[in-house]
A and B are shown apart, each in its own frame.
Chain A
Amino acid sequence: MPRVSGPALAILVAVPALAAGQVSVQGGLLVGRAEHRVVDAGTLVAASGTLFGGALAVTMGERFQIHGEALGGPLTSAATPSLEDHDVAEAQISGGMKVRPWLILESGLSFRSFSNSLARQHWTTWRIGAETRVPLGFENVTAVLRGYWIPLVSVSGLSSPDVGLAAGVGVDWRGRRLDISARYTLERYDFAPSNGAQRLEELSTFRVRVGMWWPRTGRAKHSA
Chain B
Amino acid sequence: MRHAVLAGLLLVLPGPAVAQGNTADQLEQAARYHAALDVERELVLLRRIISPNSPFVVTHEQRVLAYKYLGAALVVLGQRDSGIVYFQAALERDPFVDLEPQKFTPAELAAFSDAKRLTFGLGIRAVAFDTIDPRTERLGFTVLTTHAADLRVELRSADAQAGVVLYQGITDGPRELRWDGLLADGHLAATGRYELLLSGVSQLTHRPDSARLYFSIQQDHAPLEDTLAALRPEDLLPEQHPAAMARTELFKGLGIAAAALVIPRTVANGQLHGGGRTFADGIAVTASVAGIGGFIFRQRHREIPANIAANAERRAQRAAANGAIRDRNQTRLAQARLIVAPAAGVGP
> Is chain B a partner of chain A in the same complex?
yes
- A interface residues (Cβ-Cβ under 8 A, vs B): 33, 35, 37, 39, 44, 46, 134, 136-138, 141, 143, 145, 165, 167-171, 182-184, 186, 188, 190, 200, 202, 204-206
A–B pairs, 11, beta carbons within 8 Å? A37-B272, A134-B255, A134-B256, A137-B250, A137-B253, A137-B290, A137-B294, A182-B286, A183-B283, A184-B276, A206-B276
Extra 9 A-B pairs, beta carbons < 8 Å, given A35-B274, A184-B282: A39-B271, A134-B252, A136-B252, A136-B253, A143-B253, A167-B267, A186-B264, A200-B271, A202-B274
Decide if B275 touches A171 in the complex (CB within 8 Å): no
Per-residue interface assignment for chain B, residues 265 to 295, with 1 indicating a CB less than 8 Å from any chain A CB and 0 otherwise: 0011101111110111011001100110111
Q: Please tell me if B108 contacts chain A, counting CB pairs below 8 Å.
A: no
Decide if A182 touches B267 in the complex (CB within 8 Å): no
Q: How far apart sit A44 and B275, CA to CA, in the bound complex (Å)?
A: 13
Q: How far apart sit A136 and B280, CA to CA, in the bound complex (Å)?
A: 18
Decide if B279 touches A35 in the complex (CB within 8 Å): yes
Decide if B267 touches A136 in the complex (CB within 8 Å): no
Decide if B252 touches A188 in the complex (CB within 8 Å): no
Using A137-B294, A137-B297, A143-B252 as known contacts, say yes or no to A35 and B276 having CB atoms under 8 A apart: yes
Decide if B272 touches A169 in the complex (CB within 8 Å): no
CB of B207, distance to nearest CB on chain A (Å): 82
Q: How far apart sit A200 and B263, CA to CA, in the bound complex (Å)?
A: 17
Sort A-B residue pairs by CB-CB distance and give the 8 closest, nearest first: A137-B294, A204-B276, A137-B249, A206-B279, A143-B256, A184-B283, A37-B272, A37-B274
Which residues does chain A contribute within 8 Å of B276, judged by CB atoms?
Answer: 35, 184, 186, 204-206
Decide if A138 touches B290 in the complex (CB within 8 Å): yes
CB of B48, distance to nearest CB on chain A (Å): 101
Per-residue interface assignment for chain B, residues 227 to 267, with 1 indicating a CB less than 8 Å from any chain A CB and 0 otherwise: 00000000000000000001001101101100110011001
Using A182-B286, A186-B263, A202-B269 as known contacts, say yes or no to A169 and B297 having CB atoms under 8 A apart: no
Instruction: Kindly report which residue of chain B lies nearest to residue A32, judged by CB atoms.
Output: B279
Listed residue (A46, A141, A169, A190) with the most chain B CB atoms within 10 angstroms of its CB: A169
B131-174 with Cβ < 8 A to chain A:
none
Decide if B279 touches A205 in the complex (CB within 8 Å): yes
How many chain B residues touch the partner (CB < 8 A)? 34
Interface of A is mostly: strand
Instruction: Kindly report which residue of chain A lies nearest to residue B289, judged by CB atoms.
Output: A171
Q: Please tell me if B193 contacts chain A, counting CB pairs below 8 Å.
A: no
Q: How far apart sit A46 and B283, CA to CA, in the bound complex (Å)?
A: 22
CB of B309, distance to nearest CB on chain A (Å): 12
Instruction: Kindly report which residue of chain A lies nearest to residue B270, judged by CB atoms.
Output: A200
Q: Please tell me if B116 contacts chain A, counting CB pairs below 8 Å.
A: no
Q: How far apart sit A44 and B250, CA to CA, in the bound complex (Å)?
A: 39
Listed residue (A44, A46, A204) with the most chain B CB atoms within 10 angstroms of its CB: A204
Which residues does chain A contribute within 8 Å of B282, judged by CB atoms?
Answer: 182, 184, 206
Q: Please tell me if B68 contacts chain A, counting CB pairs below 8 Å.
A: no
Using A145-B256, A182-B286, A204-B275 as known contacts, say yes or no to A137 and B246 having CB atoms under 8 A apart: yes
Q: Please tell me if B337 contacts chain A, counting CB pairs below 8 Å.
A: no
Decide if B291 touches A136 in the complex (CB within 8 Å): yes
Which residues does chain B contribute within 8 Å of A136, judged by CB atoms?
Answer: 249, 252-253, 256, 287, 290-291, 294
Which residues does chain B contribute within 8 Å of A141, judged by CB atoms?
Answer: 290, 294
Q: How far apart sit A171 and B288, CA to CA, in the bound complex (Å)?
A: 10
Q: How far apart sit A44 and B280, CA to CA, in the bound complex (Å)?
A: 21
Instruction: Kindly report which residue of chain A lies nearest to residue B273, judged by CB atoms.
Output: A44
CB of B276, distance to nearest CB on chain A (Å): 3
Q: How far apart sit A136 and B291, CA to CA, in the bound complex (Å)?
A: 7
CB of A215, distance to nearest CB on chain B (Å): 20
Decide if B272 touches A143 in the complex (CB within 8 Å): no
CB of B71, distance to nearest CB on chain A (Å): 96
Which residues does chain B contribute within 8 Å of A138, judged by CB atoms?
Answer: 290, 293-294, 297
Q: Please tell me if B298 contacts chain A, counting CB pairs below 8 Å.
A: yes
Decide if B283 touches A170 in the complex (CB within 8 Å): yes
Q: How far apart sit A168 and B256, CA to CA, in the bound complex (Å)?
A: 11
CB of A15, distance to nearest CB on chain B (Å): 31
CB of B248, distance to nearest CB on chain A (Å): 9
Which residues does chain B contribute within 8 Å of A137, judged by CB atoms?
Answer: 246, 249-250, 252-253, 290-291, 293-295, 297-298
Decide if B283 touches A182 in the complex (CB within 8 Å): yes
Instruction: Kindly report which residue of chain B lies nearest to residue A36, judged by CB atoms.
Output: B274
Instruction: Kindly report which residue of chain A lies nearest to residue B266, judged by CB atoms.
Output: A167
Kindly identify which residue among B246, B267, B283 contacts A188, using a CB–CB cutoff of 8 Å: B267
Decide if A202 touches B268 in the complex (CB within 8 Å): yes
Decide if B283 touches A169 in the complex (CB within 8 Å): yes
Using A134-B256, A138-B297, A184-B282 as known contacts, say yes or no to A46 and B274 having CB atoms under 8 A apart: yes
Which residues does chain A contribute within 8 Å of B297, judged by CB atoms?
Answer: 137-138
Using A35-B279, A138-B297 as known contacts, say yes or no to A44 and B272 having CB atoms under 8 A apart: yes
Which residues does chain B contribute within 8 Å of A33, judged by CB atoms?
Answer: 279
Decide if A186 touches B283 in the complex (CB within 8 Å): no
